[in-house]
Amino acid sequence: MADVVLKNVQKSFGKAKVIYGVDLDIRDGEFVVFVGPSGCGKSTLLRLIAGLEDITAGDLSIGGERVNDLAPAKRGIAMVFQSYALYPHMNVYDNMAFGLELAKSSRAEIDRKVREAARLLQIEALLDRKPRQLSGGQRQRVAIGRAIVRDPKVFLFDEPLSNLDAALRVQTRIEIAKLHTDTRATMIYVTHDQVEAMTLADRIVVLNAGRVEQVGSPLELYHRPANLFVAGFIGSPQMNFIECRVAGVGPDEVLVSLPGGGSVSVPVLPHGVATGESITLGIRPDHVRISPEGALTGRVELVEELGENHLLYVDAGQGRRLTVREPGDARHEVGGTVSLDLAREFCHLFKSTGEALPSRVGTTNPAPSSPDLASRAA
Amino acid sequence: MSGAVAQTGVPVQSHVQGRRSSLTRSRIRAAWLFIAPSLIILALIAGWPLARTIWFSFTDADLNSLSDYEFIGFENYLANYDGEWLGLLTDPDWWHSVWNTVWFTLVSVSIETVLGIIVALILNAAFPGRGIMRAIILIPWAIPTVVSARMWNWMLHDQFGVINDMLLRLGLIAAPITWTANPDTALWTVVMVDVWKTTPFMALLILAALQMLPSDIYEAAKVDGVHPVRVFFRVTLPLIKPALLVAIIFRALDALRVFDLIYVLTSNAKDTASMSVYARQQLVDFQEVGLGSAASTLIFLIIALLTVMTLAAGRVRLGEDPR
Ligand SMILES: Nc1ncnc2c1ncn2[C@@H]1O[C@H](COP(=O)(O)OP(=O)(O)O)[C@@H](O)[C@H]1O
Ligand SMILES: [Mg+2]
């Protein structure tokens, strides 16, 4: 059993507080991704789990045992660093074997493990090479191999793909997912890339400035972001945000008036919002439709053709820019006027505190999850 | 149309080539122009004295009448008079000074290397006041050798020296030791003062190498649970080896030329004379410019040979960049 439990874990570097009380319950065999903007404390949180930094306050337990004061080597973890952290003077074989040599393994046992990992990662032909003779992708494989041979209960990855080019990133991502299926080990993976987070994670932990914003499955975060930050962070292109006013409140819907004069009735629980209050409406580019009698009108500022779909950047007045994603080739030109319709069941409302209004009970996922997540992930 | 292009194409190309080579020629000319002054100065201050010394080593010149000498071939080095071999190569004092120098070099550089590594490792760790410590440790290196040798001479004085006084008070010795005069302790004393003086230099060079090392591999080793001592021998040492070799070569070449330290600490004592001390004695005290020049020439040859050998050995290993 290798569940990882964080209870009010905090970290300060001197006077600078970096992690503000994180509570997390990572189950055995789960693939959890920490995602968040650069500098939000993802690496620090991972290094706290690894034992490379001391925990300032709170409790960390791995496999039911409190490990706050345990050396990294005793925690049953293996870590893959963003910079690979390979020993530059050792060949690939020694890089993988070095950490094992003290672990009371016999020569033959070490040899078997190293060759097994090399086979798994298809780096058997490289065993005699030095790291400098390898490409970035090969180095990353060696770094992963070094983690595999330790047979850890928990794998920790710190942005393992960020130094690779796009094609290699996709390929290695798939291999990491496969490694997870094969080993069933608990994996904690840090990235700033939400596509990696969406595709790899069983659960995503969205971090912002040292605090957990939301924890949930990729689709939960996508469809029901708990706040403005998560809504803006998850999903690409970013969700559109429109400043509105509450025009009316029903038992399970909120009527908002749009800046251009139109209005939308959003099926969410009002949760104490009052008529006249200002509120932020959020809607993803896929759910803004071009239709003859839309609630908003605007001028097309920019068109981006992506082949399978296209993006329209529409100026809806007062510098408010909306992104619209439509399938196929663009049928509108820059400078043209379009009328936009907001699909009401896909609208999110955020109070001025940033908190999202909960969607109506029963409407779990706005059913046919039309956002072509799969194609976006690729 | 295409024919015209082909026709004009050829001369254009050769014209470009011609211009390129004239550019290269003017670059080479400029390069010579820039290095000429330093070459001339080098020839004047290094080449000329060296050539003169080598020339004198083949003469019977005397310090009293430097202009009045004769060419005597290799007689300063080796000569046979009536079946008796004479000359520098037969002088036991010369060979003793060679041995002293080599012994001094091996022992002092070894100790300095080990101590330098230890000091560098300590200074490389994060602790409060590290910046000040780094400055303080350099003080012995910053003091001119003659000054520090004089200072140690006083501290080691058999009657008034603070070191004998301390050892006596602590009861470690029964009678004062004549550190620099006693043949048993003299060379060790020289080594100790040299270690005191040049360990900071070693430490600084090694510290620079340590700071170039990536920190992530140490974290990887920590996660893998590799013992720090093992990490030092298997990771740190191989990675700083190129810098360490350079530092050792520097120090060894310096140590082979040792003069001021020994001269100030033990004067002209035969027991501790280095090659340089021997040469100075022949040249100045005995006024034997020919013999002294022969000794100087041999020192030059020995050091040049060792330098070429270490550089050749070093190049093989340095070329094998560990990164
Ligand atoms: N050793 C350290 N000393 C002081 N501040 C640090 C240290 N490591 C990280 N920080 C700070 O902690 C914050 C989070 O860093 P990090 O966890 O690396 O962010 P990221 O989410 O990009 O991985 C940053 O503001 C960084 O400056
Ligand atoms: Mg980071």
Query: A52-106, pLDDT tens digit by residue?
Result: 999 999 999 999 999 999 999 999 999 999 999 999 999 999 999 998 876 667 8
Give the pLDDT score at B3.
42
ipTM: 0.84
Q: Is B225–A71 a contact, with Cβ atoms under 8 angstroms apart?
A: yes
Provide the Cα torsion A352, A354, A355, A360; round to 10°.
80
Does ligand 1 lie within 6 Å of residue A37's CB atom? no
Q: Which helix (H) or strand (E) holds A342?
A: strand A337-342
Which pLDDT band, with edges at 50, 70 and 90, does A15 fall under? very high
- When comparing pLDDT for B28 and B270, which is higher? B28
Does ligand 1 lie within 6 Å of residue A39's CB atom? yes
Contacts of B216 in chain A (CB under 8 A): 81, 83-85
CA distance A175 to A182: 10
Contacts of B128 in chain A (CB under 8 A): none
Which pLDDT band, with edges at 50, 70 and 90, does A142 fall under? very high
- Distance (Å) from the alpha carbon of A110 to chain B's nearest alpha carbon: 14
Domain architecture of chain B: domains with CATH? 93-314 (1.10.3720.10)
Give the pLDDT score at A375.
41
> What is the average pLDDT across A178-201?
93
In terms of Cβ atoms closer than 10 Å to its own Cβ (0-12, 13-18, 19+), residue A122 is: exposed
CA distance A311 to B256: 76
Nearest CA in chain B to A134: B323
Give the pLDDT score at B12.
47
Interface of A with B in 93-132 (CB under 8 A): 98-99, 102-103, 132
> What is the average pLDDT across A183-211?
94
Interface of B with A in 189-218 (CB under 8 A): 214, 216-217
What's the B221 CA to ligand 2 centre distance in angstroms? 19
Contacts of B230 in chain A (CB under 8 A): 102
Percent of chain A with pLDDT over 70: 94
Q: Would you kindly state where each structural domain of chain A is located, as residue ranges?
A: 4-230, 237-350
Does ligand 1 lie within 6 Å of residue A214's CB atom? no
CA distance B282 to B61: 12
Which of A77, A86, A102 shows the shortest C-beta gap to B223?
A77
Which pLDDT band, with edges at 50, 70 and 90, does B80 fall under? confident
> What is the average pLDDT across A180-186?
93
Does ligand 1 lie within 6 Å of residue A15's CB atom? no
Three-state secondary structure readout of chain B:
CHHHHHHHHHHHHHHHHHHHHHHHHHHHHHHHHHHHHHHHHHHHHHHHHHHHHHHHCCECCECCECCCCCECHHHHCCEEECCEEECHHHCHHHHHHHHHHHHHHHHHHHHHHHHHHHHHHHHHCCCCCHHHHHHHCCHHHHCCHHHHHHHHHHHCCCCCCHHHHHHHHCCCCCCCCCCCCCHHHHHHHHHHHHHHHHHHHHHHHHHHHHHHCCCHHHHHHHHHCCCHHHHHHHHHHHHHHHHHHHHHHHHHHHHHCCCHHHHHHHCCCHHHCCHHHHHHHHHHHCCCHHHHHHHHHHHHHHHHHHHHHHHHHHHHHHHCCCC
Q: Which helix (H) or strand (E) holds A35?
A: strand A31-35
Distance in angstroms between the alpha carbons of the first and the last residue of chain B: 56
- Distance (Å) from the alpha carbon of A71 to chain B's nearest alpha carbon: 8
The one-letter code for the residue type at A352 is: S
Render pLDDT for B159-212 as a digit per residue (tens, 0 to 9). 889 999 999 999 888 888 888 888 888 999 999 999 999 999 999 999 999 999
Nearest-CA residue for ligand 1 atom 12 is A18
Render pLDDT for B1-42 as a digit per residue (tens, 0 to 9). 444 444 444 444 445 555 668 899 999 999 999 999 999 999
If one looks up domain A237-350 in CATH, what number appears?
2.40.50.140
Q: Is B220–A89 a contact, with Cβ atoms under 8 angstroms apart?
A: no
In ligand 1, the atom with minimum distance to the C-alpha of A159 is 23
β-sheet with A31-35: strand ranges across: A77-80, A154-158, A186-191, A31-35, A203-208, A211-216
- Ligand 1 pocket test, candidate residues A13, A48, A192, most atoms within 8 A of CB: A13
Give the pLDDT score at B42.
94
Q: Is B217–A74 a contact, with Cβ atoms under 8 angstroms apart?
A: no
Note whether B138 and B285 are within 8 A (CB). no
- CB of B222 within 8 Å of any CB in chain A? yes
Does ligand 1 lie within 6 Å of residue A42's CB atom? yes
Give the pLDDT score at B61.
86
Nearest CA in chain A to B218: A85
Mean pLDDT lowest among A121-130, A354-363, B244-253: A354-363
Q: Is A78–B238 a contact, with Cβ atoms under 8 angstroms apart?
A: no
CATH class of the A4-230 domain in this structure: alpha beta
Contacts of A114 in chain B (CB under 8 A): none
- CB of B323 within 8 Å of any CB in chain A? yes
Q: Is B216–A102 a contact, with Cβ atoms under 8 angstroms apart?
A: no
Give the pLDDT score at B18.
54
Q: Is A103–B220 a contact, with Cβ atoms under 8 angstroms apart?
A: no
- When comparing pLDDT for B307 and A193, which is higher? A193
What's the A52 CA to ligand 1 centre distance in angstroms? 13
Tell me the count of A-B CB pairs closer than 8 A: 67
The angle at the Cα of A122, spanning A83 to A94, to the nearest 5 degrees, equals 60
Which pLDDT band, with edges at 50, 70 and 90, does B317 fall under? low
A interface test, pick of B218, B224, B239 with most A CB neighbours within 10 Å: B224
Contacts of B235 in chain A (CB under 8 A): 87, 89
Which residues share a beta bridge with B198? none
Helices vs strands, H then E, count in chain A: 9, 20
Closest CA to B243 of B274, B286, B290, B208: B208
Give the pLDDT score at A223.
94
Query: What contacts A199, CB < 8 A, 6 or more positions away?
Result: A173, A177, A218, A377
Nearest-CA residue for ligand 1 atom 8 is A44
The one-letter code for the residue type at B102 is: V
- The number of beta carbons lying within 10 Å of the beta carbon of residue A108 is 8
Note whether B200 and B112 are within 8 A (CB). no
- When comparing pLDDT for B261 and A261, which is higher? B261
pLDDT of B269 strictly over 90: no
For chain A, the helix, strand and coil percentages under 3-state DSSP, each to the nearest 5: 25, 35, 40
Percent of chain A with pLDDT over 90: 76
Contacts of B321 in chain A (CB under 8 A): 132
Closest CA to B153 of B55, B54, B75, B264: B264
Does ligand 1 lie within 6 Å of residue A54's CB atom? no
Mean pLDDT across chain B, nearest whole number?
A: 87
